[in-house]
Amino acid sequence: MRRAFALPALALATTLALSACSGKATDASGGGGSGGVQVGPGVTEDTITLGAFTDLTGPFKLLSEGVIAGHEMWRADVNAGGGICGRQIEFNIVDHGYSADTAVVKYPQLAPDIAGFIHLLGSPINAAIDPKITEDELTAVALSWSSFILDTPYVIIPGTTYDLEIINGLSYLMEQGMIADGDTVGHVYIDGEYGENGLLGTQYFAEQHNLDLRPVKITSRDTDMSDIVTSLRGAGATAIALTTTPAQTRSVLNTAQGLRYDVPVVGNNPVFDPTVLDLPAPALDNLFIVSSSTTFASDVPKAQEVAQTFNEQYADAPPNSYVPYGYAIGLIWQQILERACENGDLTRAGIQQAFRESDSITTQNLVADLDFSVPGAPATREVYISTPDTNVPGGQRTVTDLFKAPEAETYVAPHQPTN
């Protein structure tokens, strides 16, 4: 009788154990309990795994490596402090090489085992896997700053957006007396989500200040900007806005210098990378880069701390402004996960809820304070402005503290609620 009872009991216990395991691995919303906290994919009793879907072999390799170095330094700090919710942070880093096709193929290998994306790099990649992210309820930090993508509830933009960057940048030029109401201003922008989002900002600023806006659409493959700059000089443009690649920025600055066309050039954060520094200094002096994050060589105390750690641990790696940005993204995730832990829910749905409840994320001024509680609205409107400087590590020198232009305050982003 005892043996007859024991066998079904063993079978029942085994079934329960197996179903608990499979629930952890695949159930995106329900999850199992662990230490009083509901858990979902990517979360165990000891670890929380975040994915990085990034570009380690393509055109944004330097950017990705900088961001990941920042992530790793944050991870070391947070794990040394006991982790989050009693769990150590782990990363699963997958390279898509900036190819949407590759990203679609590799996404299923990555998605089932992570709690969210610590970063997801690239507008075309975002566009390609956006439906899957929504379906899988994966909260993701997008390394793409287009306000067009804020209609996806699972996307975190860790800072302000391209349209607001340009508005703030032009406002800075006006405040400095470099442009005035009624001036002619050119805007060279890449056809697509990135460029068109930047152009929204210029159009809004031009309306506010009666500017004669001369937009010039290019493709990401174009690299020779000489005829464009010649044309803008002929039109009497007193400033040029850029929503371009670094190679295109270099061509604009080089041509302007050759033509002795001495006008300020203001650009979104991706217009700069260290290759721009190859130009002679006078060409660089006119460039102003608008960004949500501070620079590597910034005097913000947390940035200095990050820079020091980076110099100790990555002595051979080139520093850039994405290193402190990578650390800031870690801090953003930390606060979201801690809130989810307080809510007792580390499932994907729980993480998403914690993200939406986060209205005062702070990164010690690596990035402005962020409010994610209004779906569709940029999380901040504040920016830093920097200029190229070959004498400082990372090649960028911050020229303003965090600030928000009055025009940035009144601008309504594409998916922002208006009431």
Partner 1 sequence: MTEFLQLTVSGLGKGAVYALLALGFVIIFKATDVVNFAHGSLVLLGGYVVIATKDILGYAGAAAVGIAAAGLGALLVERLLISQSKLADPISLVLLTIGVDVIITEEIIRRLGVTAPFLGGPLEGAPLRLGNIVVFRPQLIALIVGVVLITAFFLAFRYTGWGVAMRAQAENREATALMGIRSSWVTGSAWLVAGLLAGVAVLFIATQDFSGAGLGRGTHAIALAAFPAAIIGGLDSTGGAVLGGVIVGLTEAYTAGYISFDFSESAIYLVMLLVLVARPVGLFGTRELSRV
384-388 and 396-398: which strand pairing?
antiparallel
Q: Which is nearer to partner 1, 57 or 184 (CB)?
A: 57
DSSP state of 383: B
- Binding pattern for the stretch 259-278 against partner 1, x by CB under 8 A and - elsewhere: xx------------------
CB-based contact 216:246 (threshold 8 Å): no
Q: Could you identify the residue written with the tokens 């299923």?
A: 108
> In terms of Cα–Cα distance, which of 254, 313, 407 is closest to 77?
313
> Between residue 177 and residue 216, which ones bind partner 1 under the rule CB under 8 A?
191, 216
Residue 24: what residue type?
K
Beta carbons within 8 Å of 351's beta carbon, 6+ residues apart? 40, 115, 116, 139, 336, 337, 340, 345
Say how far apart CA 285 and CA 262 lie, in whole Å: 10
254 touches partner 1 by CB under 8 A: yes
**CB-count exposure of residue 341 (10 Å: 0-12, 13-18, 19+):** buried
The residue from 23, 59, 274, 376 that contacts partner 1 (CB under 8 A) is 59
Q: From 8-16, 108-116, 167-175, 224-232, give the range in contact with partner 1 by CB under 8 A.
A: 224-232
> Between residue 267 and residue 326, which ones bind partner 1 under the rule CB under 8 A?
279
Reading the block at residue 263, the tokens are 């006008």
Rounded to a whole number of angstroms, the minimum distance from the CB of residue 96 to partner 1 is: 14
223 touches partner 1 by CB under 8 A: yes
The residue from 113, 222, 338, 371 that contacts partner 1 (CB under 8 A) is 222
- Binding pattern for the stretch 226-245 against partner 1, x by CB under 8 A and - elsewhere: xxx-xx-xx-----------
Q: Which is nearer to partner 1, 235 or 374 (CB)?
A: 235
Rounded to a whole number of angstroms, the minimum distance from the CB of residue 257 to partner 1 is: 9
Task: Please tell me the count of residues contacting partner 1 according to CB under 8 A.
Answer: 30
The residue from 23, 61, 153, 274 that contacts partner 1 (CB under 8 A) is 61
Say how far apart CA 123 and CA 148 lie, in whole Å: 10
Rounded to a whole number of angstroms, the minimum distance from the CB of residue 191 to partner 1 is: 7
Q: From 176-184, 252-260, 319-327, 328-336, give the range in contact with partner 1 by CB under 8 A.
A: 252-260
Q: From 225-233, 266-274, 347-355, 402-410, give the range in contact with partner 1 by CB under 8 A.
A: 225-233
Tally of CA atoms within 13 A in the half-sphere of 250 that contains its CB: 14
Residue 33 has a CB neighbour count (10 Å cut-off) of 11
Start-end of H helices in 259-299: 281-284
- Binding pattern for the stretch 14-53 against partner 1, x by CB under 8 A and - elsewhere: ----------------------------------------
> In terms of Cα–Cα distance, which of 249, 276, 235, 247 is closest to 215?
235
Q: Which is nearer to partner 1, 24 or 250 (CB)?
A: 250
DSSP letters of 98-161? T-HHHHHHHHHHHGGG-SEEEEEE-HHHHHHHHHHHHHHT--EEEE---GGGGGSTTEE-SS--
Rounded to a whole number of angstroms, the minimum distance from the CB of residue 60 to partner 1 is: 9
Q: Which is nearer to partner 1, 164 or 225 (CB)?
A: 225
Angle, CA of 240, 243 and 247, to the nearest 5°: 95
217 touches partner 1 by CB under 8 A: yes
Rounded to a whole number of angstroms, the minimum distance from the CB of residue 59 to partner 1 is: 6
Rounded to a whole number of angstroms, the minimum distance from the CB of residue 62 to partner 1 is: 8
The residue from 67, 129, 138, 218 that contacts partner 1 (CB under 8 A) is 218
φ/ψ (deg, to 5) at 248: -70, -40
Q: By the criterion CB under 8 A, which residues form the site for partner 1?
A: 57-59, 61, 191, 216-219, 221-228, 230-231, 233-234, 247-248, 250-251, 254, 258-260, 279
